[in-house]
Chains A and B, each alone.
Chain A
């Protein structure tokens, strides 16, 4: 019984994520301090040494991501975490990791931008996360947790995807999901994963291995990029994840992710009491975007309302996914201190647009 009790904990999103990373086999963390994700490095600096792992506070986010690249090249499960400004600095390294097919987990507990912006929750990094962010023709799987429980669960999934597809994976959270505490149910830690066959270990009794993103010879880069494209297509086919809430009989659909989806759920309950048949579709993977369910829903609902904590970014993907002619509206709050919409506010928007 006591053991069972330990599996249920009341914890912060950031800590849940850090805990899950260790349980998913991550033993190395490199990062640079920034609000609002401080609990992740603080937790890991305390806990990693206990399980034979290493924690290193780097001199910058640029150094962090490159340490991740180096450690990831050895086939190890590695991660870093940061927020907006730091994630911008990491884009170079993420592009190199994608190009060299080196897995790793990058966590963005995002805050407001542009520039120094603010530390309030924000979804303004959606484009940066889902459109590559760094230079070149690549994609990064992006997972968007909506609760501390998902901070925990998606850390496992992130490492799965990173190694299955040999790619950096991003978890795009926000300040509220990272800072809030809620009950989290833990699972059994994963057994150590076998070393991948591409890992650098020293050419002992075998040919030497090379991990690189430079392909200069004629036709070489195109071939490599097309190989990667196949991989992205497979990811788009197999890995979209989303949650549907009260969509079965819905006439109207709200599409939102992360903290906003969480609030919108309560708004939908409120609107249903007023007789508005609304439902929610919450993308859990932002890349690959859940195109199919949105396409299906758009064929049968009267209107889609996209709600975002930015000035309208994901709405582009919704427009690309929905059937032509679907009525798609956007309600947004521009992120900053005090701009997180209340459930009444979103319910009010639904009332206004769906009635």
Chain B
């Protein structure tokens, strides 16, 4: 395996399923043989309505699971976008939910912004709540470390019985997210 390192902050508000997709990505990367750390927000932050988690994927032993300046930010709402957008490393990428942040703007030229209308697209395929899965699909397409097939394999672990019930919907959300990124990246 070639040397590889990336770190991602998933951020949004409680209930948007931020932790869930962080876990799914972690498990899929582990299955692919990478070293992975996952660090959730906890305590006071949890009760402020904000939720975020950091996933580090690497071929070398991982030092800190806490990342001040991530390579990639996935922001599901305005608060989290505003909070983290200026911390993204030069050369880094922001995937922003343009349904909830239509006027997204990152002043720094060296940061790439990829808008995906997550809520709107999720609604189109049948359930707005799938926006997190769609966001994960977008991220997976961007980093190209694991495929949507790897994510599919870990879905039963993170989604439980819901996955069997709504399998097609979940997979569709994942695919649509990935396609959106393909279009714009």
Contacts and interface: CB of A to CB of B under 8 A. Distances in A.
Nearest to A118: B44
B11 to A, nearest CB: 16
Nearest to A14: B42
Interface in A255-298: 259, 262-267, 269
A10 B27 contact: yes
Contacts of A179: 39-40, 42
Contacts of A343: 63-64
B49 interface: no
Given A181-B37, A182-B36, A263 B64 contact: yes
Contact of A176 (B26, B39, B43, B60): B39
Contacts of B63: 262-267, 343
Contacts of B44: 35, 119
B65 A176 contact: yes
Q: How large, as a class, is the contact surface on chain A?
A: 20 to 34
Contact of B42 (A36, A264, A265, A338): A36
A182 B43 contact: no
Interface residues of B, number: 22
A10 B36 contact: yes
B184 interface: no
Contacts of A180: 37-39, 65
B68 interface: yes
A182 B40 CA distance: 12
B68 A342 contact: yes
Contacts of A10: 23, 26-27, 30, 36, 38
A175 B43 CA distance: 10
A162 interface: no
Contact of A340 (B26, B30, B64): B64
Interface in B59-110: 60-66, 68-69
Nearest to A35: B43
B37 A182 contact: yes
A98 B149 CA distance: 55
Interface of A: 10, 35-36, 119, 175-176, 179-183, 259, 262-267, 269, 338, 340, 342-343
Given A175-B42, A263-B63, 4 more contacts: A183-B36, A262-B64, A269-B60, A340-B66
